[in-house]
Structures are given as C-alpha cells and as structure tokens.
Structure 1
Amino acid sequence: MEKRVLVLNLDHSPVAVVSPQKAIVLVLLEKANVLSTYDLLEIRTVSRSFEYPAVIRLTHYKNIPYRGVLLNRMNLFRRDKGECQYCGSKRHLTIDHIVPRSKGGKTTWTNLITACNRCNVNKGDKTPEQAGLVLRSEPFKPSLSHFLAEYAERRAEEWLPYLASRTINSEV
C-alpha cells in the first residue's frame, strides 16, 4: 500500500493529503518544502532517487475557506470509533438523535451518536436519561485535524508532531 503525504499550509494548518508523486512535483516546482520523510523509503526514477516525503509545507500561504468535516454516516461512525455510545457494541450500528427530533432535537454533531439497533429501539422516543441509558462519551464536532491524527496513529506516525497541537486546540 502506498503511503500518503500530509500537506500543510504556511501556518502549519493541514490543507490536504496527497500522493507522493504529487508531493514530489510540488517540491520540484518549489511550491512546497519537505518537513518530514518516511524512514527507509525512497522514490526512484530512471536517473534520480528522492526521499519519500511524509509531510510537506507550502512555500506561500493559500487562503482555503474552511468547510469543516461533513456530517454524514461514515464520519459519525469514525468519530465514535464504530461503537455504540450506550453499550459499546460494534454490531448492527445505526444513528441516534440524543434529543429525539420529535422533541426538537437537531441533526447536529453534538446531538447525533452511533448506537446499536437494540439500544436505539429500547431508547425509542426518549432522552437517554428517560430511557435509563448513559453515554460512554460526550459527542463533539470533529475537525479535519482530528481525523488526520486518527489516520496518522495507524498509518503515518511521522504526521503526529505536526497535528498534535492542532488536534488539541480544535477540540476545545
């Protein structure tokens, strides 16, 4: 599997995740600088070899409007680590409104959680307190840095120093 490259803006905010080929092109065109490389990996051409970039930073600041993380089923399950937020089950997962829509609950990051079908049916049209359920963790709106740090922990530890402060600040 090919490793990916984290692209940071001039202020070190994450901008994108790109292929190593795209990263090398940005570096060769002097549009980015390599901040970190993957150990023991290199990219070879017929006549040259390059260190395999892990993190690059753009040489000029790019004003990229913040779009946030899309609120969808996949991202909600990723935020909740694929577990029911009531019992911890990883099977038959659904989405639950903490405050039911019939009681004025909104479809927002802080009112949606992952729940197994059994807990969701048992809760029904009640709040967790009314149904005698306790949330395992408080729902929050994740940032791009949050998801990138989660990815980095599994596949790209070289990214972590560049994401650590951003993840802490974005969740406050």
Structure 2
Amino acid sequence: MSADLVLNASYEPLHRVSMEHAIRMLVRMVAVVEEVREGQTFGPWPRPKGLRLVRYLVMRWRYRHTPTCTKEAVKARDRMCAYCLDPAETIDHLIPRSRGGLVTWTNTVAACRGCNHRKGNRTPAEAGMRLLITPVAPS
C-alpha cells in the first residue's frame, strides 16, 4: 500500500494516509483529488497521489510555543524528587488540584512517593517542605 499525501485547503502538507483512508475521505467529500496516478482508478475516481481538504484545518499544535505538560515530561525534566533529591516516581502539584491548581510546567514537580504523601493536600509552605528544584517550562 502506498501512502497518499494530504494537503490542507491552503495547500500546506499535513500528513500521509493509506489508500483506504483516502477513499473514505473522498466518499465523505472532505477532500478532493489534487494529483492522480496516471492510468490507475478505483471506482469512479482516479487513484490519487495527493488529496486536498475542502475546509481549512487549523493546526494549533504546530504553533504551540512550549511542549505539552505530561507526567512523563515532568519526570524527565526533573529526574529526581524536588524535595529530597531521591529518584522521582510520581509528580506533585505545588498548588493542589483540589484548590484549583492546574497541570502546568510551573505548578508541577517530580517527587518520590514518600514526599508526595507527606506533603498531601497542602502547599509546600504549609507542609514545611522546601523545594530544591525550581519548576520552569522547557523551551
């Protein structure tokens, strides 16, 4: 199976799809054939080499300035517990989620399970724990 190129409505390349996916896109009329493979057809359509979407697809992920904040990414950023410098096993929210804290780069740090349980549903200041690592958003 060869992959067919999918272009946005503004002719910028998006990704490649299988022949089956290309057929489904044409049947649903979300794309039109932009370039064909000479002498090859399937049903009433020429076999496409490239498709173009009918409507413009906004690609917000391409214009995001910082990487997505996930548990694995926070643990990879810190590598060790922000409170005792032991190996990190989980993440901890500086402002707990129950108090409106969000999963952001500056509100999460890597932590070992012991420090995470000790801090509990409090801020580090309330728990009497000092941060040894300053959380920053990676570039």
Q: Deviations over 1:74-93 (max 9, x none)?
A: 2111211x1000000015x1
1:100, 1:74 → 2: CA distance? 19
Structural mapping, 1:67-78, within 5 Å = 67=64, 68-78=66-76
1:105, 1:128 → 2: CA distance? 13
Match of 1:95 in 2: 91
Matched, 1:111 2:110: no
Alpha-carbon offset, residue 97 of structure 1: 0.5
Match of 1:84 in 2: 81
Match of 2:125 in 1: 129
Structure 1, unaligned stretches of length 5 or more? Answer: 1-63, 144-172
1:119, 1:139 → 2: CA distance? 16
**RMSD of the TM alignment (CA)?**
1.6
Aligned residue-pair number: 78
- The structure where helix makes up a greater share of residues is 1
The letter for the 2-side match of 1:108 is: T
Structure 2, unaligned stretches of length 5 or more? Answer: 1-60
Q: Deviations over 1:17-59 (max 9, x none)?
A: xxxxxxxxxxxxxxxxxxxxxxxxxxxxxxxxxxxxxxxxxxx
Matched, 1:66 2:63: yes
1:134, 1:66 → 2: CA distance? 36
After TM superposition, the score normalised by the length of structure 2 is 0.52
After TM superposition, the score normalised by the length of structure 1 is 0.43
Match of 2:44 in 1: none
Query: Percent sequence identity over matched residues?
Result: 44
Match of 1:142 in 2: 138
List, as ranges, runs of 4+ consecutive aligned residues in structure 1 with deviation greater than 4 Å: none
1:90, 1:129 → 2: CA distance? 22
